[in-house]
């Protein structure tokens, strides 16, 4: 029964869908065709490559963690609160989506840089400077990636049935308990999808990172930065690095999907 329904794709959808697949997959195929596979082991053995890959994974994961911690509450405020100016707030929050990342990096300097509004005070009071550190990488990635999470979670919250929350409230649960025990489990698939989007965006982040965090192997040089610089001197090596980043990110996403997304997706 289920299978029959899946095969009956209407023709008007089939053709554009096929074009979309070709459009999205062909560049990837091009990359794979041009990959000098013989160079792959040598590149993998390169300590700088492992370093960049590790830094990418760690910083993207931290950025996703920060985004979850701050973004889910923000999504709740946008979806549920009756505060005035919510639409203005939503527009402001999604600014990083439309801002060219390099501009985002400069903007971060103006706030958190040594001469920035907050950064100057941090430097004077605590001797802490953020630019050119791994912290700066996480901040740049969070800035660019968090809106993806906020939008996903807000959408899930709007689509969720609020009667469950009402029922919980009737049964005596306070708002915080309702949020934890009812709302959050209800929108878990949306949170998971948002977190995956956020992580993927953070992993590929280039412009804001190279501007605000700079590029130094081991501290701030993530894979996209390594790929870009390798492209300047050794394009085949850059392709190998791109394929490696792709393989690791796809592998991670597939693993998560099997363990986590499909189960919650089936429940939804």
Alpha helix positions (H), the chain:
2-7, 11-34, 40-45, 47-80, 86-93, 95-98, 101-112, 117-126, 134-159, 163-170, 175-178, 184-186, 188-203, 207-212, 223-233, 235-256, 262-267
CA distances from 185 to 81, 147, 156, 188, 263 (A): 19, 21, 11, 5, 13
Backbone angles phi, psi at 206, to 5 degrees: -125, -60
What does the alpha-carbon distance between residue 8 and residue 224 come to, in Å, rounded to a whole number? 41
Q: Which is nearer to other proteins, 52 or 146 (CB)?
A: 52
**Interface mask (CB under 8 A) for other proteins, residues 56-95, using x and -?**
----------------------------------------
| Residue (29 or 110) nearer to other proteins, CB | 110
- Examine residue 51 and tell whether it contacts other proteins (CB under 8 A): no
Of 111, 122, 184, 229, the one binding other proteins (CB under 8 A) is 229
Q: Rounded CA gap, 110 and 132, in Å?
A: 14
Instruction: Return the residue of 53, 198, 225, 239 that touches other proteins, per CB under 8 A.
Output: 225
Which of residues 15, 47, 232, 267 is near other proteins by CB under 8 A? 232
Residue 114 in contact with other proteins, rule: CB under 8 A: yes
CB of 223 closer than 8 Å to CB of 51: no
Q: Select the span of 45-53, 91-99, 111-119, 196-204 touching other proteins (CB under 8 A).
A: 111-119
Among 36, 65, 214, 236, binds other proteins (CB under 8 A): 214
The answer to whether 49 contacts other proteins (rule: CB under 8 A) is no
- For the CB of residue 134, give the shortest distance to other proteins in the complex, in Å: 12
Collect all residues with Cβ–Cβ distance below 8 Å to 131 and sequence separation of at least 6.
109, 112, 113, 114, 119, 212, 213, 214
Give 238 or 261: the residue with its C-beta nearer to other proteins.
Answer: 238
Of all helices (H) and strands (E), which one includes residue 162?
Answer: none
Q: Of residues 73, 185, 218, 235, which one binds other proteins by CB under 8 A?
A: 235
Binding stretches for other proteins (CB under 8 A) = 102, 106, 109-110, 113-115, 129, 131-132, 210-211, 213-217, 220-221, 225, 228-233, 235
């Amino acid at each position: 029964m289920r299978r029959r329904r899946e095969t009956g794709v209407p023709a008007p959808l089939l053709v554009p869908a096929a074009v979309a697949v070709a459009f999205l997959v062909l560049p990837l195929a091009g990359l794979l065709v041009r990959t000098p596979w013989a160079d792959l082991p040598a590149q993998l053995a390169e300590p700088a490559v492992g370093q960049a890959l590790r830094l990418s994974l760690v910083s993207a994961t931290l950025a996703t963690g920060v985004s979850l911690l701050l973004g889910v509450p923000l999504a709740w405020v946008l979806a549920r609160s009756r505060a005035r100016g919510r639409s203005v707030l939503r527009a402001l929050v999604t600014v990083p989506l439309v801002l060219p990342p390099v501009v985002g990096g400069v903007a971060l300097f103006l706030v958190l840089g040594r001469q920035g509004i907050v950064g100057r005070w941090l430097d004077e009071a605590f001797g802490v400077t953020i630019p050119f550190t791994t912290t700066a990488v996480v901040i740049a990635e969070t800035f660019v990636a968090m809106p993806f999470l906020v939008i996903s979670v807000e959408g899930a919250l709007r689509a969720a049935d609020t009667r469950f929350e009402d029922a919980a409230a009737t049964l005596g649960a306070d708002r915080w308990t309702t949020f934890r025990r009812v709302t959050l489990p209800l929108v878990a698939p949306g949170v998971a999808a948002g977190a995956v989007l956020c992580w993927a965006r953070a992993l590929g982040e280039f412009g804001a990172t190279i501007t605000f965090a700079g590029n130094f192997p081991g501290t701030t040089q993530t894979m996209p930065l390594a790929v870009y610089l390798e492209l300047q001197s050794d394009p085949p090596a850059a392709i190998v690095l791109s394929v490696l980043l792709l393989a690791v990110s796809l592998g991670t996403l597939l693993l998560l999907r099997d363990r986590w997304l499909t189960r919650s997706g089936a429940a939804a």
